[in-house]
Amino acid sequence: ATHSIPNLKFPIAIDLIQRNVIDVDDFVSHTFPFSETAEALKVAAREKATAIKVVVLADEKQ
């Protein structure tokens, strides 16, 4: 998390994800290979309503 308060709920969130209570696939809205980082940043800035989480993959094979 990128906020200044202690993240006391993080262990609870990890537990819910591990038990498949939360489907994290719904959080990632866009995925880009590293070679398209510039486009990923444009999408994140331009599509604020639909770009929930923009992921840039370090490994081009993914």
| Residue 45 within a domain | yes
Per-residue confidence (pLDDT) for residue 36, from 0 to 100: 96
| Residue 42 within a domain | yes
| Residue 7 within a domain | no
| pLDDT-derived band at 1, boundaries 50, 70, 90 | very low
Q: How many domains does the chain have?
A: 1
| Residue 62 within a domain | yes
pLDDT, tens digit, for every residue of 5-57? 667 888 888 899 899 998 888 888 999 999 999 999 999 999 988 888 999 99
Domain that holds residue 38: 24-62
pLDDT at 62 over 80: no
Q: Characterize 25-58 residue by residue with b for buried, 16 or more Cβ atoms within 10 angstroms of its Cβ, and e for exposed.
A: eeeeebebeeeeeeebeebbeeeeeeeeebebee
| Residue 14 within a domain | no
Please say whether the beta carbons of 25 and 51 come within 8 A. no
| Residue 44 within a domain | yes
Per-residue confidence (pLDDT) for residue 30, from 0 to 100: 92
Nearest to 58 by CA among 33, 27, 40, 31: 33
| Residue 46 within a domain | yes
| Residue 54 within a domain | yes
